[in-house]
Structure 1
């Protein structure tokens, strides 16, 4: 007798063929597809009668810079989607890597799931991932004049500029960051019997 995860893995292999790398870990199925096969694979996941992933639950960006304490040698940026099949009560994670680290571009899935609109805008805003074919790719969480993408691992922790209201000018102004770096020293508990019964 096959388990639910094994049945899902088999259905995914039958539908996607050799074009996808499928792995199972911790009770979750992950499908890694190539950027060139991304739209076709996502359409198959939605439309194939054995799968029917009709709902996009989430889509987010990931920056793999320094992943695995610097041992990562793959592509830097990825978009990760979580899909739900209500008909089969299945969930799957789909990961696609952007082929160019300098200009991370992948296809938009807004034509497949309209709900991907704001998710892709967030991934663009936070990571700088461009979604080709997205009809309204603009910032969604940061200010329009914001420079950079704050979830990238090489983005400075303190940012580049700070924003504040100037009562004399009666408007919001931007200034270079004036935060002085400092070391936080953790409080040390010096009781000999701490944690003992």
Structure 2
């Protein structure tokens, strides 16, 4: 007897052929495509009647720096997209790695699924991943003056700049982060009869 997951894997192999590496684990199917094949593969996933992934559920960036406790030797940045076929009632995860770690870039899928717009802007803002062909790629969550991409694993936890109101200048200013070193001394309160009845 063929399971629904096996039917999906077969349909993916038939539609995408050599353009994709298909695997399944824990009841989920993952398709990994090369950046050069990404846009065509996504178009196929939506338009092929045997797949019919008409809805894009989620798109996010991933930073693989120090992944697997430093044992990862692949590309650093990836874009992961989750798709849903309402017609067939199945889901798939698509992963594409950005070929250049210094300037992570993949094609935009906003021409296929319009709702990818804000998701791609978020991946740009937080990870610095560029989407070629995106019509309005600008920050969406951080401030316009924000420096860097806060979800990158090499971004400092405290950031680079801080914002505060300066009463002398009567405006908001940015300045380098200043963190006063402090020593926390825990205050322990113990009752002599704690835990006894």
Question: What TM-score does the superposition give when structure 2 sets the normalisation length?
Answer: 0.91
Superposition pairs of residues 55-70 of structure 1, within 5 angstroms? 55-70=55-70
**1:186 Cα deviation (Å)?**
9.1
Question: Partners in 1 of 2:6 and 2:173 — Cα distance?
Answer: 57
Superposition misfits of 4+ residues, deviation over 4 angstroms? 181-188
Superposition pairs of residues 36-55 of structure 1, within 5 angstroms? 36-55=36-55
* CA distance 1:183–1:19, shift in 2 (3 Å): farther
Question: Partners in 2 of 1:118 and 1:149 — Cα distance?
Answer: 16
Paired residue secondary structure (1:113): coil
* CA distance 1:184–1:80, shift in 2 (3 Å): farther
Compute the RMSD of aligned alpha carbons.
2.0
Query: Which residue pairs with 1:23 in the alignment?
Result: 23
Matched, 1:174 2:181: no
Query: Which residue pairs with 2:111 in the alignment?
Result: 111
Paired residue secondary structure (1:9): helix
* CA distance 1:7–1:161, shift in 2 (3 Å): same
Question: What TM-score does the superposition give when structure 1 sets the normalisation length?
Answer: 0.91
Question: Partners in 1 of 2:58 and 2:183 — Cα distance?
Answer: 36
Query: Which residue pairs with 1:194 in the alignment?
Result: none
How many residue pairs get matched? 190
**1:96 Cα deviation (Å)?**
0.2
Q: Report the structure number with the largest CA radius of gyration.
A: 2
Question: Partners in 1 of 2:118 and 2:107 — Cα distance?
Answer: 15
* CA distance 1:24–1:162, shift in 2 (3 Å): same
Flag structure 1 segments of 5+ consecutive residues without an equivalent: 191-197
Give per-residue Cα distances to partners, 1:97-150, cap 9 Å, x unaligned.
000000111000000000000000000000000000000000000111111000
Flag structure 2 segments of 5+ consecutive residues without an equivalent: 191-197
